[in-house]
Amino acid sequence: MTISLGEKKFLGRAVLAAVAMVGLMAFAATPRANAEDYDRCQRRLAKADHRLHEAAEHHGWNSRQADHARHELREARERCWRENHRWWDEDGRRWHNDRDWDDHDHDRH
């Protein structure tokens, strides 16, 4: 069985079209960080930071409640880092692009 030149061209074009389609689908499926993601992350971290301050104010910095709030703040920072490769510093009121937080940064207040 031989393949004619016309069939080879058709097969080549079909393969090229399939590869292009797969490429487009892969590009479209890439997650994109948008302003809504950053806002959600910022709000989540601001709430966790506020809860830590509240726990420390009501129960002390070395209390079980403050430890729990510290853990929740660390989890929120990890999630933002995992999703956006940045995290919001509520006390410094700025974004950080490095994973440079200190889990006990509030202990010095």
| Cα gap 15→63, rounded to integer Å | 64
Q: How many residues does the chain have?
A: 109
| Cα gap 28→108, rounded to integer Å | 45
Within its chain, how far is the Cα of 44 from the centroid? 12
| Domains in the chain: boundaries | 1-29, 35-108
Q: Which of helix, strand or coil describes residue 33?
A: coil
Tracing tokens 């393949």 back to the chain, one arrives at 3
Q: How many CA atoms lie within 13 A of 100 on its CB side?
A: 6
Tens place of pLDDT per residue across the chain (109 aa): 566 766 777 777 877 777 777 766 766 655 555 778 889 999 999 999 999 999 999 999 999 999 999 999 999 999 999 999 999 999 899 999 988 888 777 766 5
Residue 85, both tokens: 């490769």
